[in-house]
Structure 1
Amino acid sequence: MNSAALTIGFVMLHTSPLDIPGTKDAGGMNVVVQAQAEALARAGHDVRIYTRRSDAAVPKRVEVQPGLAVIHLDAGPARLLAKGEHEAVMDEFGHLLDAELELDPVDLLHAEHWFSGIAALSVARGRKIPLVQSYHSIAAEPDSPLTDGERPESPGRLAGEKLLASEADLIIAVSEAERQTVIDRLGGDPDQIRVVPLGVDTELFYPCVTTVCAEQRDWLKRGGRPEVIVVGRLHPLKGFDLIIEAIALMPAETRPVLRLVGAPPPDGDEYAQGLHEAVARHGMLSTTAFDGALRRSELAERIRAATIMVVPSHSETFGLVALEAAASGVPVIARATGGLREAVIDGTTGVLVTGDDPQVWATEVANLLGDAERLERMGAAAREHAVNSSWIASGERLVEAYSLACAGRTA
């Protein structure tokens, strides 16, 4: 460890980096935090991730790799909670975090999501260390359209996010779109916000080049069905229902296979059931697969086996799965919203679509699937785009931001 090394405490109250993305409330945030933490640890920094224990069998401390540990705090019951229930354990979590830091201090705290920020705010102030805040998603008013963002899952979220925008020493955004949302909706100071682009594991996510892939391409040329993949939690914000309706509008004899990867959050069974019912209602049972949540290696295999990925999310601060598809050489059709407009280069690595008309989405899917030359060209451009994004570079940008926060707190 060199003289410039930092001791960094990531705070993830409501979800653990050890959870499989697509299960519980685990999603892109879990992937981002774990990847950045691993990159920081490899660079010689001492990193801890503090999360709530949701399983009594999980050890207090899990050593992920040299320099990186996950520490479980016993705030609330040791069981899975619905996302909105975490507001009730923020104070307890903060007290336990403070006790941990009394024994094993850190140079700064980096809170992920608003639950973590509120829990860590008084701890950071009391210990006179910087608080860096990442939102990952920003709530919209309950009566606003889904394109504005998530609904506040608990009463204090809207006020809590605004408080953190003014009280945190530094805010990390993952895209210019998120940065602007923090400014416009939360009143954040532009000088206190830094954009740290996400990376992608290009060794895990890579184009399909095996003999199996060659056989698959030959099969498609002989009239086999191509595959459309959608990845994310089974939650209304992700728009899975829209893509089911779009694929249903395509002629049954040429309809692509639709693969849905992900599981519902703890309070999302009703929406998930509705997706299954829609598939059955449209007579798509034989051409639709619900894979549930997959481990990262399995997900990578599924993505590179697909012909295209569709990201119909109503709102995304970035859309990490779009970048993972790009690294896999798979073109993406995504909604023209938020950070997806930065993750997908319209007309080059994929296609951006506006609105909720299933026929528009169906037409874009059919047009891209029907143009083999365009598919190949976009796939190659997508891979080239993705290889310029690395978690090492993302970690380096984080350290630069941390240095600014530490300097500001000292001043």
Structure 2
Amino acid sequence: MPPSAGSLRIAFVVLHTSPLDEPGTKDAGGMNVVVRAQAAELARAGHRVELITRRSDPGLPDAVELAEGLTVRHLDAGPARLLSKGEHESLMEPFGRALGEHLRVDPVDVLHAEHWFSGVAALPVARELGVPLVQSFHSIAAEPGSPLTEGERPESPGRISGERRLAAEADLLVAVSLAERDTMLERLGADPERVRVVPLGVDTALFRPCEPGECAERRAWIEHGGSPEVLVAGRLHPLKGFDLAVAAVAAIPPGRRPALRVIGAPPPDGDDYVRELHTAIAEAGMLSTVAFDGALRRAELAERLRRAAIVLMPSHSETFGLVALEASASGVPVVARAAGGLREAVIDGETGVLIDGDDPEVWAAAIAHLLGDEELASRMGAAARRHALNRDWAASAAQLLEAYRELLAG
């Protein structure tokens, strides 16, 4: 179906991770959720949307139609296999050439690059074709030696200069939080007039509290002496602080210690970290009370979230922290690090608890306090649900579309 009057042709460029990958696998995470959700809403509103990524498997077709007006496009650049994240820097130029070849045949009105790999690849194409480039970073490099790099991989050699170039040359920068906006201004020297904050949404029908009777089995289990469950989810990577979650739960005395559920899978270079987590769990005597679920489909994640007593977000850095909002929509309080966008995702003392630093004893005390005060936890869970109900993906996509239209008009 051709685009209707007033509709746009929009291409999201995602070089290093496929929008088809489940979050928590490979290098897929919150960015994948955001891109797919916003793209789906834009397509539903009548726009033609392509999600353009690299072919990482020779069996992938050139195009996968996800819905009317929404297509994933695979371009050839580098070997058709899974690569570690850092290897994609060498593919920016060949991916950019493939992107230009595709867009000369199938033009768009707006190019929206996700992450700096995609932006550096797309910038020359946008200039050649006269198409405005919108840039989202999702994470921003810290200066070498900065404590903000704790837990992160060694930076790709060109990342800092690449991000600064994009901050200076992209037509519009989109941040997911005020914290990310401030980072763009302070660390990258971005022009505040070219930065737009587009808040994230959450699917409050999928992520919802337990309905009457739905969690009765777990409540009965706890009433008869079973342990409540705390949950941590994301890519199994040091940046996400899973080791702190393990240490915090281990610091709670065994008689009061909750079960810990870990959801996610390591990126291609993350096996060593997973082994370290298993070693720490064994040394703490927690083998029987920790469950590793691997990466789950969204519906399975939603079910696990609403059955948890607390969700932990110990990430060293988050531009927002989408899992925190999904936990809130599930009516579950969040204990999170007071870092980056988590300060906006969690309302301290109302929808959860924000903690400075990584002292396991401090985290353990916060977890134990919430587990021991059912009234407080219930009150926070209800407030969290109300907070999440004010956020949805249709509103997020509408703000993104408004930014596109202002850019095209200007």
- Following superposition, the deviation at residue 168 of structure 1 comes to 0.3
Say whether the 8 Å CA contact 1:140–1:151 is kept in structure 2: no
Q: Which amino acid aligns with 1:301?
A: E
Match of 1:332 in 2: 334
- Following superposition, the deviation at residue 172 of structure 1 comes to 0.2
Q: Which amino acid aligns with 2:374?
A: A
Match of 2:319 in 1: 317
Match of 1:167 in 2: 169
Say whether the 8 Å CA contact 1:10–1:109 is kept in structure 2: yes
Q: Distance in 1 between matches of 2:155 and 2:113?
A: 18
Say whether the 8 Å CA contact 1:152–1:158 is kept in structure 2: no
Matched residue of 2:181: which SS? helix
Match of 1:280 in 2: 282
- Following superposition, the deviation at residue 209 of structure 1 comes to 1.4
Give the alignment of 1:1-400 within 5 angstroms: 1-146=3-148, 150-151=152-153, 153-400=155-402
Q: 1:83–1:49: structure 2 CA closer, same or farther, 3 Å change rule?
A: same
**Mean Cα deviation higher: 213-222 or 280-289:** 213-222
Structure 2 residues without counterparts, runs of 5 or longer:
none
Say whether the 8 Å CA contact 2:142–2:149 is kept in structure 1: no
Q: Which amino acid aligns with 2:51?
A: I
Q: Distance in 1 between matches of 2:217 and 2:156?
A: 50
Say whether the 8 Å CA contact 2:229–2:258 is kept in structure 1: yes
Q: Distance in 1 between matches of 2:386 and 2:328?
A: 8
Say whether the 8 Å CA contact 1:141–1:152 is kept in structure 2: no
Say whether the 8 Å CA contact 1:141–1:151 is kept in structure 2: no
| Deviation sequence 1:364-399 (CA, Å, 0-9, x none) | 000001000011111111111001100000000000
Q: Which amino acid aligns with 1:197?
A: P
Q: Distance in 2 between matches of 1:378 and 1:324?
A: 14
**Mean Cα deviation higher: 131-140 or 398-407:** 398-407
Segments ≥4 residues shifted beyond 6 Å: none
- CA RMSD in angstroms comes to 1.2
**Mean Cα deviation higher: 208-217 or 283-292:** 208-217
- Following superposition, the deviation at residue 223 of structure 1 comes to 2.7
Q: Which amino acid aligns with 2:87?
A: E
Count of residue correspondences: 408
Say whether the 8 Å CA contact 2:151–2:241 is kept in structure 1: no
Say whether the 8 Å CA contact 2:206–2:302 is kept in structure 1: yes
Say whether the 8 Å CA contact 1:137–1:149 is kept in structure 2: no
Matched residue of 1:377: which SS? helix
Q: Distance in 1 between matches of 2:345 and 2:363?
A: 19
Q: 1:267–1:253: structure 2 CA closer, same or farther, 3 Å change rule?
A: same
Q: Which amino acid aligns with 1:16?
A: S
Q: Distance in 2 between matches of 1:210 and 1:394?
A: 31
Say whether the 8 Å CA contact 2:62–2:73 is kept in structure 1: yes
Q: Distance in 2 between matches of 1:216 and 1:270?
A: 34
Q: Distance in 2 between matches of 1:17 and 1:171?
A: 21
TM (normalized to structure 1)? Answer: 0.97
Q: Distance in 2 between matches of 1:173 and 1:148?
A: 22
| Deviation sequence 1:136-168 (CA, Å, 0-9, x none) | 000112322146784553111010000000000
Say whether the 8 Å CA contact 1:91–1:119 is kept in structure 2: yes
Q: 1:152–1:403: structure 2 CA closer, same or farther, 3 Å change rule?
A: farther
Q: Distance in 2 between matches of 1:151 and 1:407?
A: 40
